[in-house]
């Protein structure tokens, strides 16, 4: 690997860290260690939380979590120059980056099914994620290998620009998905009169805002040209976001299971309707779910309970 003569953490897009700052070395090791610990805990939590080990939510959560390991190991090997084979750390961090970043987006997409029932919106979100694989992942990967193997100034400069573009692009993507989620949960908040559920929904909103702030923090660090800090901190923040996902998932499913149907005073027959449905605007007879499903399908929407098939107790 090529070396850099400057001790600034903004360098070493290629090559190992050759500075003499113990603070930078300790920071790298700390970020990587925290990420590893969180990943091990995440894997245990995932298998304890999900009752059925299947479905897009389970697999996206598991793949995104496991992907943090090769990503962080790759950068650890790269910055500490633990091997002379350049392809080893570059390949590890690339595989980990693909699974960690896009895996996180698919986690957010899978969670949307719990609150959004519009198939068209969900399809647009899925298309956006797949499109960004080709627009952001592929060119960044090409430039990563070009910068590390050709050592040309042009390749390094191209990678530096693409790194900022892909980080911004994926940040915008996650903000869009989280924004849709917050929009729908805010609607549930306005329609839900139960104090406990309202408090839980507020907590869900706070978690999503926290995840967005983490993405913004990464962008700020990257645009300040602190490359070492940005790449190693990313593993830690993504592991934290996934741990928050576990908390969000449990709270959201609890609301859905406990308050999906409740007795409504407007229904003299003791019928039950979802807690986030305004009874005065209900257009369906909730005592006859077949009619509800038929009407929903005719409008291109899924039933509210379909998104709960995540295999979670």
Distance, CA of 34 to CA of 309 (rounded, Å): 32
- pLDDT at residue 64 in the model: 97
CATH number for position 84 = 1.20.1070.10
Distance, CA of 79 to CA of 81 (rounded, Å): 6
Give mean pLDDT, residues 296-313: 43
Q: CA–CA distance from 17 to each of 34, 141, 218 (Å)? A: 20, 21, 20
Pinpoint the alpha helices (H) of the chain: 22-49, 55-79, 87-112, 119-132, 138-150, 153-191, 195-223, 227-259, 289-298
Distance, CA of 117 to CA of 121 (rounded, Å): 8
Residue 216 located in a structural domain: yes
**Structural domain harbouring 120:** 22-259
Tokens at residue 229, please? Answer: 């800090």
Distance, CA of 216 to CA of 229 (rounded, Å): 14
Q: What is the DSSP letter of 287?
A: T
pLDDT in tens, 38-74: 999 999 999 998 888 999 989 999 999 999 999 999 9
The gap from C-alpha 285 to its chain's centroid, in whole angstroms, comes to 37
Number of domains in the chain: 1
Residue 295 located in a structural domain: no
Other Cβ atoms within 10 Å of 304 Cβ, number: 18
Distance, CA of 179 to CA of 113 (rounded, Å): 14
Give mean pLDDT, residues 288-310: 43
Residue 220 located in a structural domain: yes
Residue 312 located in a structural domain: no
- Name which residue leads in pLDDT, 97 or 297: 97
- Name which residue leads in pLDDT, 292 or 28: 28
Residue 247 has pLDDT above 90, yes or no: no
Residue 152 located in a structural domain: yes
Average pLDDT across the chain, whole number: 80
pLDDT in tens, 121-170: 999 999 999 999 999 999 999 999 999 998 788 999 999 999 999 999 99
Give mean pLDDT, residues 300-313: 43
Residue 58 located in a structural domain: yes
Residue 170 located in a structural domain: yes
Distance, CA of 156 to CA of 251 (rounded, Å): 45
Residue 246 located in a structural domain: yes
- pLDDT at residue 298 in the model: 46
Label residue 112 by pLDDT band (50, 70, 90).
confident
Tokens at residue 310, please? Answer: 């995540």
- pLDDT at residue 279 in the model: 42
pTM of the model: 0.79
């Amino acid at each position: 690997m090529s070396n850099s003569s400057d001790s600034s953490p903004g360098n070493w897009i290629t090559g190992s860290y050759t500075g003499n700052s113990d603070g930078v070395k300790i920071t790298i090791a700390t970020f990587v260690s925290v990420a590893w610990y969180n990943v091990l805990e995440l894997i245990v939590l995932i298998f304890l939380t999900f009752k059925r080990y299947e479905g897009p939510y389970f697999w996206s959560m598991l793949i995104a979590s496991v992907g943090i390991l090769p990503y962080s190991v790759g950068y650890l090997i790269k910055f500490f120059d633990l091997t002379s084979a350049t392809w080893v750390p570059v390949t590890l961090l690339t595989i980990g980056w693909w699974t960690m970043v896009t895996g996180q987006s698919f986690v957010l997409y899978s969670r949307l099914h719990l609150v959004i029932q519009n198939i068209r919106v969900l399809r647009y979100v899925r298309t956006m994620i797949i499109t960004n694989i080709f627009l952001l992942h592929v060119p960044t990967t090409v430039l990563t290998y070009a910068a590390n193997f050709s050592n040309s100034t042009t390749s390094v400069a191209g990678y530096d620009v693409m790194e900022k573009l892909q980080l911004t692009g994926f940040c915008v993507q996650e903000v869009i998905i989280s924004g849709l989620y917050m929009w729908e949960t805010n609607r549930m908040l306005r329609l839900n009169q139960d104090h406990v559920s309202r408090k839980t929904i507020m907590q869900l909103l706070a978690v999503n805002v926290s995840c967005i702030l983490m993405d913004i923090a990464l962008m700020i660090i990257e645009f300040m040209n602190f490359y070492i800090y940005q790449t190693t901190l990313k593993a830690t923040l993504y592991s934290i976001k996934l741990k928050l996902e576990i908390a969000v998932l449990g709270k959201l499913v609890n609301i859905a299971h406990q308050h999906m149907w409740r007795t409504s005073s407007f229904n003299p027959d003791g019928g039950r309707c979802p807690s986030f449905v305004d009874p005065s605007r209900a257009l369906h007879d909730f005592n006859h779910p077949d009619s509800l499903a038929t009407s929903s399908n005719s409008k291109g929407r899924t039933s509210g309970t379909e998104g709960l098939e995540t295999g979670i107790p």
